[in-house]
């Protein structure tokens, strides 16, 4: 019988076996007390099973408030556990899958810390949920960029620009050779920049440039909203010749993404806005390894991962692991990792050395738009940084003969120390 499997990091004052058993019971056919109908036969068919326990360490204080504190015990045990559920408990239902592996367990009394670190999805799910339609390879084909990162930016300021101002910025950036642009996640369909007028203005610029040069930049329009609205906006972008759409994954929800994926003829750029709620604390939440498996199953083609030395609190080791998770093949597909957040020319060489390949989007907002030489110089500085990376040269040596990179190092290097 196929099983759903999940791996957790836990912290508890109880004996680990008891705490793990409570989690398995709560997330299958048990509760805090025996109930009528909970027969031995039913439990044999439907009870979750603790597959393994690995003790990690002891700590002297609970990491989270409100947890059970054992009498005459001053330490809390941290462990890695694996739990398995019969597929029959859930069926092939992505929402109920998540309710099972990441439902009412983070607040369970026995735990002073709990994270979902990985999930193993049964083969049956891949028959119903099609996963990425384009993924990494499809994104490369649409941008016609194959041997280097897809260089991109975010329209800035994030909100406040009119459709005409957005188009003017787009024109400047694509004429400088940019491959990819996107709306900020805060930009949707506001009165000062209505969605359809923004698409019209931007695509007029992109289509004219493509007709003249043969290079068509990809622009991810943020169509996050109600399901019917997203389908309509997708069709509008497609009609105007667009090649990408964007959604805020955590706020539209899994079922909405599944529906959009079934409708879509364009790559879906998955923004993980709100991610810090799930990941910032090391003692509760979901690791990106598990997170990206679920969203790629639902249909995301491109997923944000943060970048090295980012403006957020995520450590470089975590970012590297996330990028590699996206690049891992699942059912023959890779998701395109979107390296962003405080990125500029200065992280290019280190990113390439850490990942070992250029198969990513390298998206710089302020790192391009705020370049002291202007936006076009910002684009050029990123290109030069990646030329240095791919040639095995240091930024400092490459900058001696490349003005835009030298300006970026002097400007951003001073700000971001």
Domains of the chain, start order = 3-128 (3.30.70.150), 135-415 (3.20.20.110)
Backbone phi, psi, residue 354, to 5°: -75, -40
Q: Is 168 exposed, middle or buried (CB count within 10 Å of its CB: 0-12, 13-18, 19+)? A: middle
Give pLDDT, residue 57. 97
* The pLDDT value given to residue 391: 97
Convert the pLDDT of each residue in 304-313 to its tens digit. 999 999 999 9
The 10s digit of each residue's pLDDT in 47-78 is 899 999 999 999 999 999 988 887 777 899 99
pLDDT band at 22 (very low <50, low <70, confident <90, very high): very high
pLDDT of residue 43: 75
* pLDDT band, residue 326 (cuts 50/70/90): very high
pLDDT tens readout for residues 207-220 = 999 999 999 999 99
**Whether the predicted pLDDT of 149 surpasses 90:** yes
pLDDT of residue 31: 56
Share of residues in the chain with pLDDT > 70 (%): 97
Please tell me which residue, 308 or 414, carries the higher pLDDT value. 308
Mean pLDDT score of the chain: 95
Q: Is the confidence at residue 34, as pLDDT, over 80?
A: no
With b for 16 or more beta-carbon neighbours within 10 A and e for fewer, the 258-274 pattern comes to: bbbbeebebbbbbbbbe
Residue 31 C-alpha from the chain's centroid: 34
User: Which pLDDT tens digit goes with each residue over 91-112?
Assistant: 999 999 999 999 999 999 999 9
Which tokens go with 64? 């989270």
Q: Where are the beta strands (DSSP E) in 230-369?
A: 245-248, 268-271, 284-286, 302-304, 336-339, 361-363
pLDDT at position 364: 97
Residues paired with residue 218 on neighbouring β-strands, in sequence order = 180
Residue 345 confidence (pLDDT) above 80: yes
Residue-level pLDDT at 40? 76
Residue 42: what pLDDT?
Answer: 73
Question: For residue 380, what is the enclosing H or E element?
Answer: helix 375-391
pLDDT score recorded for residue 327 = 98
């Amino acid at each position: 019988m196929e099983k759903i499997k999940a791996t957790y990091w836990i912290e508890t004052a109880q004996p680990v076996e008891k705490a793990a058993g409570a989690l398995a019971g709560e997330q299958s056919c048990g509760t805090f007390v025996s109930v009528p109908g909970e027969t031995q036969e039913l439990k044999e068919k439907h009870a979750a099973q603790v597959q393994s326990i690995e003790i990690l360490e002891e700590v002297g204080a609970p990491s989270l408030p409100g947890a059970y504190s054992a009498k005459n015990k001053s330490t809390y045990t941290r462990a890695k556990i694996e739990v398995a559920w019969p597929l029959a408990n859930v069926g092939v239902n992505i929402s109920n899958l998540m309710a099972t592996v990441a439902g009412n367990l983070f607040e369970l009394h026995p735990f002073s810390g709990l994270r979902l670190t990985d999930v193993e999805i049964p083969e049956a799910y891949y028959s119903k949920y099609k996963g990425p339609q384009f993924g990494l390879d499809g994104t490369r084909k649409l941008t016609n960029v194959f041997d280097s990162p897809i260089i991109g930016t975010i329209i800035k300021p994030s909100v406040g620009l009119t459709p005409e101002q957005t188009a003017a910025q787009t024109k400047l950036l694509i004429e400088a050779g940019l491959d990819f642009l996107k709306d900020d996640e805060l930009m949707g369909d506001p009165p000062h920049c209505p969605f359809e007028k923004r698409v019209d203005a931007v695509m007029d610029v992109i289509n004219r440039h493509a007709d003249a040069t043969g290079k068509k930049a990809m622009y991810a329009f943020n169509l996050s909203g109600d399901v019917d609205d997203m389908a309509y906006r997708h069709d509008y972008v497609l009609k105007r010749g667009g090649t990408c759409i964007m959604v805020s994954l955590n706020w539209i929800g899994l079922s909405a993404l599944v529906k959009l994926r079934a409708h879509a003829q364009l790559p879906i750029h998955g923004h993980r806005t709100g991610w810090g709620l799930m990941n910032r604390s090391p003692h509760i939440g979901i690791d990106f390894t598990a997170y990206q498996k679920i969203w790629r199953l639902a249909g995301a083609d491109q997923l944000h991962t943060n970048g090295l030395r980012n403006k957020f609190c995520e450590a470089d080791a975590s970012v590297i692991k996330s990028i590699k998770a996206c690049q891992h093949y699942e059912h023959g597909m890779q998701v395109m990792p979107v390296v962003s957040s405080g990125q500029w020319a200065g992280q290019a060489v280190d990113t390439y050395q850490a990942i070992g390949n250029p198969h990513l989007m390298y998206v710089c907002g302020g790192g391009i738009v705020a370049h002291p030489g202007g936006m076009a110089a910002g684009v050029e500085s990123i290109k030069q940084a990646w030329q240095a990376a791919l040639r095995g040269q240091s930024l400092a040596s490459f900058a001696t003969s490349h003005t835009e990179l030298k300006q970026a190092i002097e400007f951003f290097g001073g700000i971001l120390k």
